[in-house]
Every structure is written in C-alpha cells, then in structure tokens.
Amino acid sequence: TGGWGADYAGSFVYQAPHTFAYQWTRNGAAIGGATTAAFTAQSPGSYACTVTAANQAGSSTQASGAVKVKASKVKLSTKRKAKADAGDLVTFKVKAVNLGDLKAKNAKVCVKLPKASKADLKAPKCKKLGLKGRAKKTVTIKVEVKPGADEGTDKLTFQVKGTAGKAAKSKIVVG
C-alpha cells in the first residue's frame, strides 16, 4: 500500500488514505486488468506496481521499484559414466534445476542418442518435470542396453524439451 502519513486527530490533521488503487506494469507498460495489491507474473520482464492513495483532500501516487522476472531455464546433471552388459537396464538419476523465476510448464527430460549409439541403446520415453521457479527435482531414467550390443562406449545426451535448458552428457560402457 505504500507509505503514507497518519491521522493526528488531536491536532485535527486527517491525512491518512481512505482508499487505494493499484496498477501493475511490465517493462514500463500497464498490464490490463492487473489492478489488485498482488500480481503473479506469467512471462519474463521487469514488473512494478503503482499505488494511488486517496482521502478527502485528494490523491497521491507512489511506485515500487522494478522486479526482474526471469524465464524458466532448466539445467540438467547426472553421472558421466555407467558400466553395463548387453541386455542390461541402466538407471540414471537426472537432477533438474530451474534457474528461472517462472514455472517450466511443459518441460521434460528426453534422451538423445547419436546415430552410432542407436544400434546398442534404446532411449526411453521423455519424463515430465513440472518445475516451479527456482525449484529442483530428480527424475529416474532407465536406458536399455540392447541384447546384441557391441562392447565399447556409447554416448547419450539428456536434453530439456519444452523450455530453455542445458543438457547433460553421459556414456555407457558396454563390456
């Protein structure tokens, strides 16, 4: 509500506001319908609120400082290497961290295999994340080593889809 002068009834000074009106802005432009004391940002930008206080003598306006809201950006990490035999199921714990302020609504983790690894590995279905702003989550992803897999090292990449993000790379050593 801002900071306003109080009434001093003993001195017959009545200056405290009786009503408040709010207007939120994004990047300096008014947001239509954003006229309540609280506002939840849905997109990145610089947000501020202007409050107008009124009493019997008139009105006065104060503006808040701007708050920058960052878009969702998910960073992934996991172990760099795993050992397996042909026919095994390799389990990876993939840690996802949302570095932004907004919810990563449609974010999911997918496994991408290079052409050379597709003969030995089978990528699982993508896993949904649903990360709120600044949240962390760990998902379990199981990659199948095909029964006829050749011995050697196969590369794989854990990617973020549905929002901006940073991938994590790993290897499976078949032996």
Residue 40's contacts (CB-CB under 8 Å, 6 or more residues apart) are none
Q: Is the pLDDT of residue 14 over 80?
A: no
Token reading at 112: 């991408």
Q: What average pLDDT does the structure give for the chain?
A: 94
Report the alpha-carbon distance of residue 154 to residue 113 in Å, rounded.
Answer: 9
pLDDT average, residue stretch 77-95:
97
Handedness of CA 57, 1, 65, 13 (dihedral sign): positive
**Most distant CA pair in the chain: distance in Å?**
93
Q: Assess contact for 42 and 102: CB atoms under 8 A.
A: yes
Please give the pLDDT value at position 58. Answer: 87
Q: Is the pLDDT of residue 68 over 90?
A: yes
- What residues pair up with 173 in beta bridges, in sequence order? 83, 153
Query: pLDDT digits over 17-53, tens only?
Result: 889 999 999 999 999 999 999 999 999 999 999 999 9
Q: Assess contact for 35 and 21: CB atoms under 8 A.
A: yes
Instruction: Report residue 9: phi and psi, to 5°.
Output: -60, -40
